């Protein structure tokens, strides 16, 4: 399966861009990472089943996630324009568009080399090596490391009602939800790479 490119119009979206650097995680390392967080073929299948459940609800899911961020100053701070001290609405909306596409990409679960490269790029955009550059904004230099793993919890927890449509049985909803939990944990671990002391990742 190659990456479909439904979203070339999303500014800064670079999944499949061959100019992204190689990921500093070998395919053997990545296989171990999947094993460590119990992400198996059944989870990949469950993620893919979630695609058509979640994608039509993308805006509603983003409303919940942005609602959570927006309700906490210490999280909104990452989107503040340091000139005006106000949240930068354009920055928020550009990130939101990519976040919406991220739902589809996570659910498509085509975790190949192109996907890995883009995960590392997402990591750089959280860290001071790359934050603000993609969107050419003046904002805080860094999202503190601590929030990468921690925010996996609200992201995954709040997804559950969107998976539990009336036509799905509970076992299937659990399977999709668990697969999402593993995938998000795997991704935040990849995104953490730029924060880690060289040699310690």
The residue among 107 and 185 lying less far from its own copies, judged by its C-beta, is 185
User: Least Å distance between CB 34 and its own copies?
Assistant: 9
Q: Provide the binding-site residues for its own copies, judged by CB under 8 A.
A: 29, 32-33, 35-38, 72, 74-75, 127-128, 142, 144-147, 149-154, 157, 178, 181-182, 185-186, 188-189, 192, 195-197, 199-201
Angle subtended by helix axes 113-126 and 170-191, to nearest 10: 60
The residue among 57 and 158 lying less far from its own copies, judged by its C-beta, is 158
User: Least Å distance between CB 188 and its own copies?
Assistant: 7
Q: What is the 3-state secondary structure (H, E, C) of 149-192?
A: HHCHHHHHHCCHHHHCCCCCCHHHHHHHHHHHHHHHHHHHHHHC
H helical segments located in 6-129: 27-36, 41-54, 58-70, 73-76, 89-108, 113-126
Task: Look up residue 90 and give its two tokens.
Answer: 């354009």
Q: Could you give the CA distance from residue 33 to residue 16 in angstroms, rounded to a whole number?
A: 22
Between the CA atoms of 133, 112, 184 and 168, what dihedral angle is there, to the nearest 10 degrees?
130
Q: Could you give the CA distance from residue 78 to residue 173 in angstroms, rounded to a whole number?
A: 33
The residue among 13 and 80 lying less far from its own copies, judged by its C-beta, is 80
User: Least Å distance between CB 169 and its own copies?
Assistant: 16
The residue among 29 and 90 lying less far from its own copies, judged by its C-beta, is 29
The residue among 17 and 29 lying less far from its own copies, judged by its C-beta, is 29
User: Least Å distance between CB 19 and its own copies?
Assistant: 25
User: Least Å distance between CB 78 and its own copies?
Assistant: 12
């Amino acid at each position: 399966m190659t990456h479909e490119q439904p979203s070339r119009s999303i500014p800064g979206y670079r999944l499949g861009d061959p100019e992204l650097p190689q990921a500093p995680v070998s395919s053997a390392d990545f296989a171990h990472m999947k094993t460590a967080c119990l992400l198996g073929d059944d989870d990949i299948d469950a993620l893919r089943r979630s695609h058509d459940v979640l994608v039509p609800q993308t805006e509603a899911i983003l409303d919940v996630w942005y609602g959570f961020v927006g309700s906490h100053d210490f999280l909104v701070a990452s989107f503040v324009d340091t000139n005006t001290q106000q949240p930068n609405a354009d920055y928020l909306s550009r990130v939101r568009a990519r976040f919406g596409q991220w739902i589809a990409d996570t659910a498509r679960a085509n975790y190949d080399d192109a996907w890995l490269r883009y995960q590392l790029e997402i990591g750089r955009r959280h860290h001071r090596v790359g934050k603000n550059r993609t969107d050419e904004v003046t904002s805080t230099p860094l999202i503190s490391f601590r929030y990468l793993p921690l925010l996996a919890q609200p992201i995954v927890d709040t997804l559950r009602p969107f998976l539990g449509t009336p036509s799905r049985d509970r076992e299937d909803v659990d399977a999709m939800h668990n697969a999402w939990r593993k995938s998000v944990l795997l991704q935040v671990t990849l995104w953490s790479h730029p924060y880690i002391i060289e040699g310690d990742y």
